[in-house]
Structure 1
Amino acid sequence: MFLTAGCGSVTARAPAPAPPSVQVWPAFDGKNARTDRGLVVRARGGTLGSVLAYAEGRPVPGRLDAARTTWRSDWTLRPGTEHTVTATATRPGAPSAVAVGRFRTRTAQRTFRVASAVPLPGETVGVGMPIILTFDTPVRDRAAVERALEVRAERPVEGAWRWIDDTRAIYRTKEFWPARQRVTVVAHLAGVRAAPGVYGTADHLLSFTVGRAQTSTVDTRTHQMTVRRDGRVAQRMAISAGMGTTHEYTTTSGVHLTMDKGNPVRMISPGRSKGDPGYYDLLIDHAVRISDSGEYVHAKDNVWAQGRVNVSHGCINSRPDQAAWFYAGSLRGDPVTITGTDRELEWHNGWGYWQLSWEEWLKGSALRRPAPATGTPAQPLPQR
């Protein structure tokens, strides 16, 4: 007997593709999660349909990437807070995957915050106004803090932060602010690591208004000051500037900003005692400060010199009625550009920040790039 064997075709079924999955970091059920890297949700084998994240009932803002596979929180996470996450991953022809869970962030043992801010909340300022934030402890990780600083403007402009020292960051626009708009600053400091073991625990919110566009030009050679509002000449003033006999008595040339004002302001000769040559101690009316080296635009009744000769100790003085007009209409942050002297305003003298070119200004940024004044983060959080 002969046995024969036959071969038949057998088609093996391809294994079914794995369903999509969701990964969340920090991991669910953690009790001591890091705050400084934010919240990250990823879809594997599909795309994210929705991500709902809350910190003790308050939404955690975030956004999807272009591929819709990764969602990141816009900012760091609030310390000592329970976070809940619900996320869905989908793929055509496959069942959806849903991840639901919670975790708690670690508590900050040492904290930092914004100690003071300029402008003041609700203040109306001039078009050259900087934003100055002073922190209550030295910042070692400047990039992390700067990344958390958001500037929103009704008419977005290009601007950047510059660090003056370990506790102060200053925001300046590339060009003057567009007039008549609201600006909001949010320091998203909750969860930011400013230095080893030092974290922010609360955000800081500041809103102010940019008022009309007032700019002034002073020519110390012709002894004239011209004030423009919204591009039109509002006032022409005969002035007298610093006599220039010493460095101290020479008015600084450059772009100044009005910083504060008083009526009157007590002015005392620096470095001199009563009885010394050149000593003075005077109350000066309608004085608007424009630097930290004692320069003001103020009233003076020496009308014989105004428009003719420079005789002051470095200030810009004008006729009392015109000085009163300038005083009444000045806002902090109004630019006053002075020309004609051989003493240049230092960029760190008062608010002389416009003395730096835009390229020079950017060198003081920890991120080294301009941050548009919009509602978006200046830079995404670092990846895990």
Structure 2
Amino acid sequence: MGRVANRSAGLLALALLTACSLSGAANESKELPGAVQRQPPVAVTPVDKAANVATDQPVVVSAQGATLKSVRVDGGKAGRLRGVLSGDGTRWRSTSTARPGASYTVTAVTVDTAGKQSETTSSFTTVKGDKTFDIQSITPNRDDTGLTVGIGMPVMIAFDKPVSDRIAVERNLTIRSSKPVEGAWHWFDDSHVDFRPQEYWPAYTKVRLEAKLAGVRGGQGLYGKRDVTLDFKIGRSQITKGTTDEHVLTVRRDGKRIRTMPMSAGQGGQWKYYTTSGVHLAMSREPVTVMTSPGIGPGQSGYYQLTVYNTVRISNSGEYVHSAPWSVGSQGNSNVSHGCVNVSPENAAWFIKNTLIGDPIIITGSPRKLEPTNGWGHWQENWKEWLKWSSLKAGPSITF
């Protein structure tokens, strides 16, 4: 009995000693300067080491039990991705598009409730691109317009390669304006997309196009080359109206009639020289234009070649408002032209000087209608027809 009691006492002492030793070791580990600290959980999408990530997939960084002090997504030569932080500081989301074939590093710094900072890093690579597409031209442009344009002016973009992913491209085209407008993009084909408001632009509106296309997917293996921004202004409201029946052009500016000009329109006849009816836009202002009969060569009946002055182009089919001293006697009473709108030299000089590119010039009374694709016949389509060729829903411009 005595030996059993002594053995039990020894085991109890050993157990107590062991328990005290473990407790002491645990306390000491908390005090060690190199001890691993618990990190606030940070989630990053795409996940670390992800490959072949789509260029338009947003980078999302979320923190729990802490707030995000800073987030940096660096692609080296591909540049950094911009982003926005949520109001509570716990979620960051990229707002720009990544470049194809690039490697990005995400660095997020968080601050916990005790004020302690922690850093989390992650990386990913994007899908490789075989080709790039670029904006070949934008209208309006400084060379043609001086960037102050009429109230009917559309924004017209031509790409150097056809794009098949219209939704991705259109999603990255933004119109900002100083006055709110309802508007939509319209695809004429895979290489041309245009924007117009539902109604004419308000006079004296500032407009900005933001085409954030760098890295945007345009099709299989096809990605946008760069971002483009264009600022322009809408001038005063000027609308010119004329009828082939009454032979008069009336110009109204900001609602007030400022000039009336006798005119002569297309004579029709066997050559069908009709001036088209519809909402034309002033496309160019040309001091001198050489006009040649369409589809009729030298030596053929009906052939002509004329040098005319002070011309304002209104279609792609060769229609102009221009000086015609030879038809002054017919202006105001009959139609004798080959399809253009003839006015006197004095009126033509005034008109070219007082017209902005994009000013509406509305002609009525002719049996031939202006086609929407004949020049800038955008306003020939009603709003419902215009929206049929938009990849996204219509919406208001973003005001600034």
| TM norm. shorter chain > 0.5 | yes
Which residue in 2 is equivalent to 1:10?
none
Report which stretch shifted further, 91-100 or 222-231. 91-100
Q: CA deviation at 1:340?
A: 1.5
**Is residue 167 of structure 2 the alignment partner of residue 143 of structure 1?**
yes
Query: Which entry has the higher C-alpha Rg, 1 or 2?
Result: 2
Which residue in 2 is equivalent to 1:299?
323
Q: CA deviation at 1:226?
A: 1.0
**Is residue 97 of structure 2 the alignment partner of residue 72 of structure 1?**
no
Match of 2:46 among 19, 26, 29: 26
Q: CA deviation at 1:254?
A: 0.9
What are the within-5 Å matches in structure 2 for residues 2-151 of structure 1? 21-30=41-50, 33-43=53-63, 51-56=71-76, 60-63=81-84, 71-87=92-108, 99-121=120-142, 123-151=147-175
Distance 1:371 1:20 in 2: 41
Q: CA deviation at 1:69?
A: 6.3
**Is residue 254 of structure 2 the alignment partner of residue 230 of structure 1?**
yes
Match of 2:273 among 249, 263, 268: 249
Question: Which residue type is aligned with residue 342 of structure 1?
Answer: P
Distance 1:22 1:32 in 2: 23
Distance 2:247 2:354 in 1: 21
Contact 1:111 1:198 (8 Å CA) reproduced: yes
Question: Which residue type is aligned with residue 319 of structure 2?
Answer: E
Question: Which residue type is aligned with residue 301 of structure 2?
Answer: P
Higher RCO (CA-CA < 8 Å; seq separation 6+): 1
Report which stretch shifted further, 184-193 or 114-123. 114-123
Distance 2:54 2:153 in 1: 37
Question: Which residue type is aligned with residue 274 of structure 2?
Answer: T
Distance 1:358 1:65 in 2: 37
Q: CA deviation at 1:107?
A: 4.7
Match of 2:302 among 256, 278, 291: 278
Distance 1:128 1:54 in 2: 42
Distance 2:49 2:380 in 1: 53
Distance 2:96 2:180 in 1: 20
Distance 2:296 2:105 in 1: 66
**Is residue 354 of structure 2 the alignment partner of residue 329 of structure 1?**
yes
**Is residue 390 of structure 2 the alignment partner of residue 365 of structure 1?**
yes
TM-score, length basis structure 2: 0.80
Q: CA deviation at 1:51?
A: 4.3
Identity %: 46
Report which stretch shifted further, 36-45 or 175-184. 36-45
Distance 2:373 2:330 in 1: 31
Report which stretch shifted further, 281-290 or 47-56. 47-56
Question: Which residue type is aligned with residue 148 of structure 2?
Answer: T
Q: CA deviation at 1:290?
A: 0.4
Q: CA deviation at 1:54?
A: 4.8
**Is residue 195 of structure 2 the alignment partner of residue 174 of structure 1?**
no
**Is residue 345 of structure 2 the alignment partner of residue 320 of structure 1?**
yes
Q: CA deviation at 1:220?
A: 1.7
Which residue in 2 is equivalent to 1:348?
373
Distance 1:67 1:218 in 2: 60
Distance 1:151 1:112 in 2: 21
- The 1:69/1:372 distance shift into structure 2, 3 A limit, reads farther
Deviations 1:164-204 (A, max 9, x none): 11111111111111222332212111111111111123212
Q: CA deviation at 1:104?
A: 4.6
Question: Which residue type is aligned with residue 78 of structure 1?
Answer: R
Q: CA deviation at 1:76?
A: 1.7
Q: Which runs of 5+ in 1 are unaligned?
A: 1-17, 377-384
Question: Which residue type is aligned with residue 281 of structure 1?
Answer: Q
Contact 1:90 1:96 (8 Å CA) reproduced: yes
Question: Which residue type is aligned with residue 163 of structure 2?
Answer: V
Contact 1:150 1:375 (8 Å CA) reproduced: no
- The 1:233/1:94 distance shift into structure 2, 3 A limit, reads same
Question: Which residue type is aligned with residue 257 of structure 2?
Answer: V
* 3-state SS in 2 of match to 1:285: strand
- The 1:71/1:131 distance shift into structure 2, 3 A limit, reads same
Distance 1:176 1:47 in 2: 47
Deviations 1:85-106 (A, max 9, x none): 3446789799887534444545
Report which stretch shifted further, 90-99 or 37-46. 90-99
Which residue in 1 is equivalent to 2:24?
none
Distance 2:103 2:354 in 1: 50
Q: CA deviation at 1:205?
A: 2.1
- The 1:260/1:93 distance shift into structure 2, 3 A limit, reads same
Report which stretch shifted further, 346-355 or 153-162. 153-162
Which residue in 2 is equivalent to 1:203?
227
Deviations 1:25-58 (A, max 9, x none): 2234556543122322344688767645455496
Contact 1:22 1:98 (8 Å CA) reproduced: no
Report which stretch shifted further, 154-163 or 346-355. 154-163
Q: CA deviation at 1:80?
A: 4.6
Which residue in 2 is equivalent to 1:268?
292
Distance 1:219 1:287 in 2: 19
Distance 1:164 1:25 in 2: 37
Report which stretch shifted further, 224-233 or 26-35. 26-35
